[in-house]
Amino acid sequence: MNYDTVRFLRRMFASYYKRAGLSMPRDFWMREWGFIPFGVKMMSRHRAFRSAAEIRSFLRENAPAHVFFSSAIYERPSAANMADKGWRGADLIFDLDADHIIDADHIIRGEISYDKMLERVKVETAKLMDFLVADFGIDERDIEIVFSGARGYHVHVCRDDVRALRNKERREIVDYLSASGLDSEFRSVDPGIGSEAWRHGGGWRRRIFRGLMDFFREIKRMDRDDAVKALCRIDGVGVKSAMKVVEFMAKMDDDAIEEWVARCMLDNRLRWIPGVHCRLIQDHAVSLRSMKPDAPVTSDIHRLIRMPTSLHGKTGLIVKPLSVKELDDFEPLEDAVAFSSDRTVRVKALKRNAVRMKGHEYAVEDGEEAELPVCAAVYFMCRGVAEICDAARGVG
Amino acid sequence: MEVEVLCFFPFLRKSSDYIKEIGVSLDDLIYSAAFERARDRGCERVISAIKTGEVSSHHVLAKDVDMEILSYPFARILVSCIGDTHLARRYARAEAKTAYKILSASIADETLLHALAEDLGVTVLCGGTSHTSCDGVVGAAKLDFGVRMYRIHFTDYLRLASELRGSKWRLVNRMLHEGFVMVSGNDLLQLFHEAFYDRVRENLPIEVPGDICDAVRKYTDEIRQVLSVNTREDRSIACDGISQSAFPPCISYLLKRLMGGEEISHSARFALTSFLLNIGMRTEDIIRLYEKAPDFDAEKTRYQIEHIAGSRGTKYTAPSCRTMRTYGICVRENDELCEKVAHPLGYYALAKEKEKSEKRRNM
């Protein structure tokens, strides 16, 4: 990124911070803030602000590429040493990033488009929401979903009772979401929790129950060949056993299947559908319903998180807060675009690249000079694939 | 809560409220002749904690109830004046264990349970589902406490279960619904045990002004003496032919931490156990060393030691110096013998040889 580009981007970001309605995190004065300026790789950390006006004017004047604050609140947020800060608690924040959810190789090789990538992350985010609301009993109003400005979503849970959770306890939540350490036979669960309790009691037992029911109903609906194929996709299930399962299922109606699955789970014993280990199918149900093991990196209670409503310096997109309802229809490359598509600016491309923004496809070729709408130009410059031409002219 | 009940749970907020209510000041407790019995009992709490791991709950006569409650803050002052965190931990464990036993014995009392929960800041609801009501009545039958169902808020559950071992305590294996974790009565008791410990351990050792520590010197001296006798017994490894003074620094350090009731890592346990077995210590004696560990389980410990000793065919040799470094448990500090050896067992052999020849020379 050359100096002219840095200056241009700084001016654009400053203009955004002048007009945008910035949202301040709860207790912002007790948080540590960190910034990465344009053209610099190092983060300047351990800053603290006493008023929202101070933060706004800092952003307007410095227009940093990246803005972060701590998920934690501290007694002395500006202390240079973690031990001196006086940790008072931390929000529970889940970081769902495409890098964790999708095989990194696919991303690097460009086998998956940006849209598709975000679509997959959205599915995981919806899964997380179900966990948080149904299992953890967290009110949707206490959950803030934030588009990260690049390849994922952050989910903030802002509640006093989760703030005090320590590292180890947060790790337990992550393990719960990813079903890691799940004793799928529930051997270790107190036998006192027998009877029908689990059907209503929640937890993984109920999730597995629902998962198995969905799976078998689906199998029953399919025609014979598809059903066998679907079963064979499960590790360890062969054609012969798959056919036996299909036959077994054909003899039963939905109620009978439900009873059968319930009995299987109640016994806590591995039952065989003639030919297939029920356990395999159960594991399959778990894998469909759990979150990717590394997806939510929530257990670090000192981490910095991107400020909602700030701009992401690698895309120029808004780090956009969303309500649960808005998530469904949210289109990052429409709804999180900060800059105008009417005015244009001249750039020189360093690498070939393309983006679909506000309904238009923008593409640049290696070495090409092009007149582009500001929003696309900023995106390419932030990505490091273009430099500004004719800096003096600025935005036309 | 009745004061007769409070005196069994003197660490509750309600207990300190009660003390405020009856108007006993800190000065009264430390200096007034009227409260000598509270002071004696406070000292007894600590000594009994060191000796037996409990605070010797005895039958409290109605007229002694106030003294019993007051003895608790006094015991905290004593522990704090001594200022040893090992002692603080040991004492907190003993208080928690005693209260746990009392609660287990009076468990049918739902009112007590909920009063405790409220005081300890734990949200507990009764009944796992609509099937069970608060008093555990299902239809015409009344359930035993152990299998009654309760619900505890997940944040409280995570806090209290975080030190409990075993996969059944993992959140992932629990029924979690709308923010509450389902637990049986027995589980709830265990969680209360943890809550008691946390409450007693809170801020301990507290800061006590010097003049107060001077005023209670009579008691702290007595406790120090009991402590030194008990710790010395712990720290010596009485075993024929084994010379503890010849242990390499890494092993001595691990041993010291273990004896101090500290939790040591799995690899550290393996290193220590295999070393002790290799130099000929008996399984029984090694189990005794682990008794001080916070999560001691005699059966498990025996199994693990026997495993390392070769019950499954492989007899393990203690890790080498290089491996100890990898584990991060090598503590070499300018020890000249360490320079000469590559294995803790080599150190021991050399040090023992040296000791012998020195003894001969002195004869």
State which residue of chain A sits closest to B127, comparing Cα positions. A197
pLDDT at position A118: 82
Residue A245 lies in a domain: yes
Of B180, B172, B173, which Cα lies nearest the Cα of A174? Answer: B172
Residue A260 lies in a domain: yes
Range in B45-49, B213-217, B351-355 with the lowest mean pLDDT: B351-355
Mean pLDDT of the A121-143 span = 90
Mean pLDDT of the B202-219 span = 92
Tokens representing A147 are 């588009």
The residue with tokens 């899964």 is A127
Contact residues, B window 284-343, toward A, CB-based 8 Å cutoff: none
Sort B1 into a burial class: Cβ within 10 Å, 0-12 / 13-18 / 19+: middle
Report helix, strand or coil for A146.
strand
Range in A170-179, B135-144, B258-267, B279-288 with the lowest mean pLDDT: B135-144
Pairing of strands B149-153, B141-142: unpaired
Range in A30-39, A121-130, A182-191, B201-210 with the lowest mean pLDDT: A182-191
Mean pLDDT of the A196-217 span = 75
Q: Does the pLDDT of residue B143 top 70, yes or no?
A: no
Query: Is A95 marked active-site?
Result: yes
Q: A358 and A341 in contact (C-beta within 8 Å)?
A: yes
Number of domains in chain A: 3
pLDDT at position A318: 97
pLDDT at position A188: 47
Task: Say whether both A310 and A236 belong to one domain.
Answer: no
- Which residue in A183, A294, A366, A390 is the catalytic one? A294
Q: Which residues in chain B touch residue A183, judged by CB atoms under 8 angstroms apart?
A: 167-168, 173
Residue A10 lies in a domain: no
Q: B193 and B100 in contact (C-beta within 8 Å)?
A: yes
Range in A50-64, A351-365, A368-382, B97-111 with the lowest mean pLDDT: B97-111
Mean pLDDT of the A342-351 span = 92
Q: Tell me the sheet residues that pair with A95.
A: A154
Cα–Cα distance for residue pair B106/B108, rounded to 1 Å: 6
Q: Does the pLDDT of residue A176 top 80, yes or no?
A: yes
Task: Say whether both A195 and A315 belong to one domain.
Answer: no
Please compute Rg for chain B using Cα positions: 25
CA of B186: how far to CAs of A12, A152, A252, B144, B156, in Å?
63, 43, 40, 10, 16
Range in A104-108, A190-194, B230-234, B294-298 with the lowest mean pLDDT: A190-194
Task: Say whether both A157 and A49 belong to one domain.
Answer: yes
- Please state, as a whole number, how many other Cβ atoms lie within 10 Å of the Cβ of residue B12: 23
Range of the domain at A375: 344-388
Asked if the Cβ–Cβ distance from B171 to A173 is below 8 Å, we say yes
Q: Which residues in chain B touch residue A186, judged by CB atoms under 8 angstroms apart?
A: 173
Domain boundary among A256, A271, A289: A289
Q: A93 and A146 in contact (C-beta within 8 Å)?
A: no
pLDDT at position B298: 80
- Is A39 an 8 Å CB contact of chain B? no
Q: Tell me the sheet residues that pair with B150.
A: B126, B183
Asked if the Cβ–Cβ distance from A193 to B155 is below 8 Å, we say no
Task: Say whether both A228 and A364 belong to one domain.
Answer: no
Average pLDDT, chain A: 84
- Is A342 an 8 Å CB contact of chain B? no
Task: Say whether both A56 and A38 belong to one domain.
Answer: yes
Of B262, B291, B287, B265, which Cα lies nearest the Cα of B277? Answer: B287
Task: Say whether both A95 and A222 belong to one domain.
Answer: no
CATH number, residue A42: 3.90.920.10
pTM: 0.76
pLDDT at position A338: 94
Residue A184 lies in a domain: no
pLDDT at position A85: 92
Q: Does the pLDDT of residue A96 top 80, yes or no?
A: yes
Mean pLDDT of the B190-196 span = 95
Of B289, B283, B280, B285, which Cα lies nearest the Cα of B242? Answer: B280
Per residue in A133-168, pLDDT (tens digit) is: 999 999 998 999 999 998 889 999 988 889 999 888
Kindly give the residue spans of alpha helices, DSSP state H, lying in chain B: 3-6, 13-22, 26-31, 36-52, 65-82, 85-105, 110-119, 154-161, 185-201, 210-215, 217-235, 249-259, 266-278, 283-290, 298-309, 321-327, 336-340, 344-362
Of B296, B288, B112, B294, which Cα lies nearest the Cα of B197? Answer: B294
Residue B172 or B299, more confident = B172
Q: A198 and A184 in contact (C-beta within 8 Å)?
A: no
pLDDT at position A76: 95
Asked if the Cβ–Cβ distance from B177 to A204 is below 8 Å, we say no
Mutation target for B interface from A142, A172, A178: give the one with most B CBs within 10 A: A172
Query: Is A294 marked active-site?
Result: yes
Of A326, A227, A166, which Cα lies nearest the Cα of B163? Answer: A166
Task: Give the type of residue at A220.
Answer: K
On whether ipTM exceeds 0.90, the answer is no
Share of chain A above pLDDT 90, in %: 41
Mean pLDDT of the A260-283 span = 64
Task: Say whether both A171 and A315 belong to one domain.
Answer: yes
Cα–Cα distance for residue pair B330/B344, rounded to 1 Å: 10
Pairing of strands A87-90, A321-322: unpaired
Residue A9 lies in a domain: no
Q: Does the pLDDT of residue A192 top 50, yes or no?
A: no
Give the distance from residue B201's alpha carbon to the nearest chain A alpha carbon, in angstroms: 17
Residue pairs spanning A and B at CB distance below 8 A:
114
Residue A141 lies in a domain: yes
Q: What is the DSSP letter of B58?
A: -
User: Taking the CA of residue A18 as centre, how many other CA atoms within 13 Å lie in the half-sphere pointing to its CB?
Assistant: 8
Query: Is A135 marked active-site?
Result: no
Give the distance from residue A282's alpha carbon to the nearest chain B alpha carbon, in angstroms: 15
Give the number of residues written for chain A: 396
Q: Does the pLDDT of residue B248 top 50, yes or no?
A: yes
Task: Say whether both A222 and A272 belong to one domain.
Answer: yes
Q: Is the peptide bond before B205 cis (omega within 30 degrees of 0)?
A: yes
pLDDT at position A191: 45
Give the distance from residue B300's alpha carbon to the nearest chain A alpha carbon, in angstroms: 17
Q: Does the pLDDT of residue A98 top 90, yes or no?
A: no
- Is B167 an 8 Å CB contact of chain A? yes
The per-residue b/e assignment along B209-219, b for 16 or more CB within 10 angstroms, e otherwise, is eeebbeebeeb
Residue A4 lies in a domain: no
Q: Does the pLDDT of residue B253 top 80, yes or no?
A: yes
Share of chain A above pLDDT 70, in %: 84
Per residue in A57-75, pLDDT (tens digit) is: 999 999 999 999 999 999 9
pLDDT at position A270: 47
The dihedral through the CA atoms of B6, B7, B8, B13 has a sign that is positive
Of B33, B41, B91, B34, which Cα lies nearest the Cα of B61? Answer: B41
pLDDT at position A325: 83
Q: Which residues in chain A touch residue B129, judged by CB atoms under 8 angstroms apart?
A: 196-197, 200-201
Domain boundary among A253, A274, A289: A289
Task: Say whether both A149 and A71 belong to one domain.
Answer: yes
Residue A369 lies in a domain: yes
Cα–Cα distance for residue pair A103/A91, rounded to 1 Å: 28
Residue B356 or B21, more confident = B21
Cα–Cα distance for residue pair B262/B185, rounded to 1 Å: 30
Q: Does the pLDDT of residue A271 top 80, yes or no?
A: no
Task: Give the type of residue at A2.
Answer: N
pLDDT at position A197: 55
Task: Say whether both A128 and A170 belong to one domain.
Answer: yes
Task: Say whether both A48 and A80 belong to one domain.
Answer: yes
Per residue in A222-233, pLDDT (tens digit) is: 888 998 888 888
Q: What is the DSSP letter of A28?
A: G
Task: Say whether both A240 and A266 belong to one domain.
Answer: yes
- Residues 6 or more apart whose Cβ sits within 8 Å of residue B29: B35, B38, B39, B70, B73, B74
